[in-house]
Amino acid sequence: MKLEGTIVAMVTPFNNKDEVNENGIRENINYLIDRGVDGVLAAGTTGESATITHDEQRKMIDIMVDEVNGKIKCIAGAGSNSSKEALGLVKYAESAGADAALVITPYYNKPQPHGLYMHYRMLAESTNIPLIVYNVPSRTGTDIDVDTIAKVAELDNIIAIKEANPNLDKVSQIMKKLESVDSEFRIISGNDNLTLPMISLGAKGVISVLANVDPARMSKLVQYALNGNYTEAMRIHYELYDLMKVLFIESNPVPTKVALNLMNRPAGHVRMPLGSLKEENKNKLQKVLQDLKLL
């Protein structure tokens, strides 16, 4: 499996009883497919993986696989700070028929580089589903280093890394290191605002928060960049730049869910301990959406 293009890190819509809104998930998936995305991700960070139960997570994976029905790639969020728990989720994603599993670097316990390698090696050797490493040090407290990424890239089932370290030089370091390792291993952007420069350095797409809100334009940006049309990609990048920034004015996915609610898309509330978006930030978000004619 070659991962490429725009994959949407979907929000998890909740109803007024604080239950996962199955119809909302299905509606959002079809909305995204109709607007040209290449894949969807359920139960990732944007899907509030920290506050959904494992039962809800498994249910969401099932819904995603059923609704996508082979039309685009479907990726299951399946990480944990416990290797044993991560293995159970990865195995479930495999049995459910997901195309790949996204596995975040274990958080809070801050494993050493050789511990991270053993974590991913165990998952790769215990399953057959393609695995994507997710590196987001701002949330996990751990940054998987370039040498460890190169070692992990040699494992048969590891196909890509979602790199959300904002250090662009690291992308160059990974690409240089991978020249002698595995040309099929992909770097995927984990930051919407860095997607264009990362693709220029060799990345193959994005796992995107913004694409929940404007999937059509984000998909076009990525395709233009992958096809080498940087003039058009840059035009869309700057067209979307204010949205890229305002969607992170408070903790993700708080602004994104507010944006979707304003657009009458299924989203609902965020689960505690996340709180509501501040009124002044909601006003800023609403103006950006209006400027982009999304409202």
Give CA separation, 140 vs 55, 170, 235, 254, in Å.
23, 18, 33, 19
Q: Quote the domain boundaries for residue 107.
A: 5-237
Lookup result for tokens 């334009």: 217
Residue pLDDT tens, the chain, 295 long: 889 999 999 999 999 999 999 999 999 999 999 999 999 999 999 999 999 999 999 999 999 999 999 999 999 999 999 999 999 999 999 999 999 999 999 999 999 999 999 999 999 999 999 999 999 999 999 999 999 999 999 999 999 999 999 999 999 999 999 887 656 899 999 999 999 999 999 999 999 999 999 999 999 999 999 999 999 999 999 999 999 999 999 999 999 999 999 999 999 999 999 999 999 999 999 999 999 999 9
Residue 162 a catalytic site member: yes
- 80 found inside a domain: yes
In whole angstroms, give the CA distance from residue 234 to residue 224: 9
The answer as to whether 255 is a domain residue is no
In a domain, 44, yes or no: yes
Q: Which of 92, 117, 134, 224 is catalytic?
A: 134
* Identity of the residue numbered 50: A
Q: Give a yes or no: residue 267 inside a domain.
A: no
* DSSP codes joined into one string, the chain: ----EEEEE----B-TTS-B-HHHHHHHHHHHHHTT-SEEEESSTTTTTTTS-HHHHHHHHHHHHHHHTTSSEEEEE---SSHHHHHHHHHHHHHHT-SEEEEEPPPSS---HHHHHHHHHHHHHH--S-EEEEE-HHHHS----HHHHHHHHTSTTEEEEEE----HHHHHHHHHHHTTT-TT-EEEES-GGGHHHHHHTT--EEEESGGGT-HHHHHHHHHHHHTT-HHHHHHHHHHHHHHHHHTTSSSTTHHHHHHHHHTT-S--PPPTTS-PPPHHHHHHHHHHHHHTT--
Per the domain annotation, does 292 fall within a domain? no
Q: Let me know if 31 is a catalytic residue.
A: no
Q: What are the Cα distances from residue 67, in Å, to 27, 34, 55, 215?
A: 9, 13, 18, 18
Q: Are 128 and 157 in contact (CB under 8 A)?
A: yes
**What confidence score (pLDDT) does residue 182 get?**
55
Does the residue 272 lie in any domain?
A: no
Domain assignment of residue 102, yes or no: yes
Q: Give 186's strand partners.
A: 160
Residue type, 171: V
Question: For the chain, what is the domain count?
Answer: 1
CATH number at residue 206: 3.20.20.70
Q: Name the catalytic one among 162, 170, 204, 257.
A: 162
Burial class (CB in 10 A: 0-12, 13-18, 19+), 265: middle
Confirm whether 229 is domain-assigned: yes
- CA dihedral in degrees (56, 61, 64, 68; nearest 10)? -170
Question: Measuring CA to CA, how many Å separate 164 from each of 6, 58, 167, 227?
Answer: 15, 25, 9, 23
